[in-house]
Structure 1
Amino acid sequence: MSILWMLIIGGIIGWLAGLLTGRDVPGGITGNIIAGFIGSWLGGLILGSWGPVIGGFAIIPAIIGAIILVLIVSFVLRKMGQNKNRNHHAK
């Protein structure tokens, strides 16, 4: 049951990050869960583990880490799309 709880909390963290940044997390629910897990790890590295802990996630650092992750992924995907369009027009 704890794995299911972690997946739910990870998904909510990823969803919140997408909502707060105004950007969609690629991959839908799975993308939200992945963003929540990686964001939690990233937030823990940058900010440490503090604040309320739910489902094994320190919520505040996890959300901040997930926001950073969503912004980075959004930036990279945008740049890849620009490069793809440039290459397509060059042919």
Structure 2
Amino acid sequence: MSFLWFLVVGLVAGWLAGILVKGGGFGLIGDLIVGVIGAFLGGFLFRTVGVSMGGGLVGSLVVATVGAVVLLFIVRLVKRA
């Protein structure tokens, strides 16, 4: 069941990041991929900085969304180069 929640949080985080960075989503699969990778990246970044958002759904969503936004920013920088 926790894997299902991980996918749901990844999907919502990818959708939010798409809206924040690009102005729209990337479709169901694209949002899911961006959100899941963003969750891993956000978790790494928050641990590196020493910030804890707690173990709840909202904290997980914030971490995953921040990671997804950073991921999209990096992808956009690489695409321009």
TM-score, normalising length: structure 2: 0.71
Residue 35 of structure 1 deviates from its aligned partner by: 0.9
Say if 2:9 and 2:64, in contact at 8 Å, map to a contact too.
no
Q: What is the match of residue 45 of structure 2?
A: 46
**Relative contact order, higher structure (CA 8 A, sep 6+):** 2
TM-score, normalising length: structure 1: 0.65
Alignment RMSD: 2.5
**Higher fraction of strand:** 1
Percent identity between the two aligned chains? 38
Q: Distance in 2 between matches of 1:50 and 1:72?
A: 23
Alignment of 1:1-91 (within 5 A): 1-24=1-24, 26=26, 28-48=27-47, 50-52=52-54, 53-54=56-57, 58-79=60-81
Q: What are structure 2's unaligned runs of at least 5 residues?
A: none
Which structure has the larger Rg? 1
Distance 1:17 1:29, change over 3 A: same
